[in-house]
Amino acid sequence: MAKNWYPIIDHDKCIQCYQCVNFCKHDVYTIGDGGYPLVINPLSCVEFCRGCQKICDNDAISYFGDNK
Ligand code: SF4
Ligand code: SF4
């Protein structure tokens, strides 16, 4: 779906709670080495969706493709 929109995790802010991983229904994430959410299927991310960003309590998610 979205070639130019997918989440980027700020490891300095992420507390590895996995709310984002559990929230996304599109299998964008897995848990990577080091325990941080890892984007493995960026093409499955829904363009302009901000669901995981909204659910993150630590403001650790931004988006590739977000120009604001
Ligand atoms: S919801 Fe935020 S703090 Fe929790 S794992 Fe995802 S990016 Fe990290
Ligand atoms: S922006 Fe939406 S579709 Fe993309 S990873 Fe987050 S919750 Fe999933």
Residue 11 lies in a domain: yes
For the segment 19-59, what is each residue's pLDDT rounded down to a tens digit?
999 999 999 999 999 999 999 999 999 999 999 999 999 99
Residue 30 lies in a domain: yes
* Residue 39, domain extent: 6-64
Give how many domains the chain has, as a whole number: 1
Q: How far is the CA of 3 from the centre of ligand 1 (A)?
A: 22
The CATH number that applies at residue 56 is: 3.30.70.20
- For ligand 2, atom 3, the nearest C-alpha belongs to 45
- 15 CA: nearest ligand 1 atom: 3
Residue 1 lies in a domain: no
Write down the pLDDT at residue 3.
75
- 7 CA: nearest ligand 1 atom: 7
Cα–Cα dist 39/48, whole Å = 16
DSSP 3-state assignment of 60? coil
Residue 28 lies in a domain: yes
